[in-house]
Amino acid sequence: MKNFLKPKKHNPHNPFIKGNEVSYMMVGYFPKDELRKILPQAMSIPSDEVMTERYPTVKKIEGMHPYMMQLAACHNVQPLSANYQLPAYQELQFFFPVTYTHKKEEQHCTYSPVLYLDYFFGVIGGLTLGLRKEYHRKMIVEETDTSKSYLIKGVIDASFRQTSTDSSEELDPFFAGVFNNPLATVSYFNRTYFYKQEVYPSKVLDASTTYEWRYKGSVIKNNENTFANYSEYSFTVSQAMRYENYFHPSPSEIETTDSNPPLK
C-alpha cells in the first residue's frame, strides 16, 4: 500500500500497468447496421476512405466493418507502482476502429466494448479502471504448441492454428494500428475513458482461425477474408483518462504530485 499512497509526479500517458501476453489475434467483420445500434452515442463508423488509408491489409466488404478479436494468455501483469504481480489469466477482447466526436473534434480511436476473463479479481480490478469486463469461470481453453481454442457456451467458440514457422517481430498493419490508436472504453457507470497502450512483439507468426461469436443479437463468423497472427509480446497500458486529459493535457495534468484518484 505504501507504493500507492506515496505522492509522486506522474504523467498519465506513461505506462501504469505492464505485462506479457501470448496471443492469437484475428480480423473479423461486423454488420455495420448492427454495429451502429450498439456503438455509444459519441462513436461512429469511420469512412471507407479513412479505413482504406489506415488499414490497407483489410479488405473492404460492403455493409461490414472490420474489427479485431484477441485471445490471450496474460502473465507477469503488474501495476508499475506496486511490488506484486497478478496471477496468470486468460482474456478475450474485441476492438473496433471508430470515430469519437467530442464537441467539434473528431478522433480516430479503438473502441473495446467488453473483455471476457476467467479471473474474477481481474474483473473487479477492471471496474476501478473503467473497463467493462465479464467473468466467465466456465471458459474452456485447450492448447498445443501450435494451436489454441476458446469456448464460452452461448458466447464464443474459436479455434486458432499457426500456419507458418517464419517468425518476424511485426504485427500485421491492421493489428498494429488498432493497438496504436487511443483506446476508448465506456464504464458500467456510462463514463468514457481513454488509454494509451503499447505492444512490443518478440515473435509473430501467421495463423488461421474459425470462430463463432454471439454478441448483442448478432452471430459473427469467420469468412474467406479472415486472417490471423500468433504473437508473443510485452505490453504497457496507461492509467484511464477522460477526454480532455488524454487529448488536451495541461501542464498540471502532465505532471502531478497527487496519487491516482479512484474512478467513479
Record the pTM.
0.87
Residue 253 above 70 pLDDT? no
Residue 257 has pLDDT above 50, yes or no: no
Q: Domain range spanning residue 73?
A: 16-254
For residue 83, what pLDDT band results from cuts at 50, 70 and 90? confident
- Read off the CATH number of the domain in which 135 is found: 2.40.400.10
Helices (H), 161-261: 173-180, 243-247, 251-254
Region 110-122: what's the mean pLDDT? 77
What average pLDDT does range 152-178 have in this prediction? 95
Indicate the number of domains in the chain: 1
Percentage above 90 pLDDT, the chain: 69
What value does the mean pLDDT take over residues 192-197?
94
pLDDT, tens digit, 9 for 90 and up, residues 201-231: 999 999 999 999 999 999 999 999 999 999 9
Report if residue 264 sits inside a domain: no
Question: Beta-strand (E) ranges in the chain?
Answer: 15-31, 43-44, 64-79, 89-102, 105-111, 115-117, 133-135, 140-143, 147-152, 156-162, 183-186, 192-195, 197-215, 218-221, 228-238
pLDDT score, position 127: 61
Please report whether residue 153 resides in a domain. yes
Mean local confidence (pLDDT), 113-134 = 66
CA–chain centroid gap for 207, Å, is 19
Find the mean pLDDT for residues 92-117: 93
The answer to the question of residue 56 being in a domain is yes
| 133 is a domain residue | yes
Residue 5 lies in a domain: no
| The pLDDT value given to residue 259 | 40
Q: What contacts 224, CB < 8 A, 6 or more positions away?
A: none
Q: Reply yes or no on whether the pLDDT at 19 is more than 90.
A: yes
Fill in the amino acid letter for 36.
R
Residue 237 in domain:
yes
Confidence of residue 11 (pLDDT cuts 50, 70, 90): confident
User: How many CB atoms are closer than 10 A to CB 107?
Assistant: 17
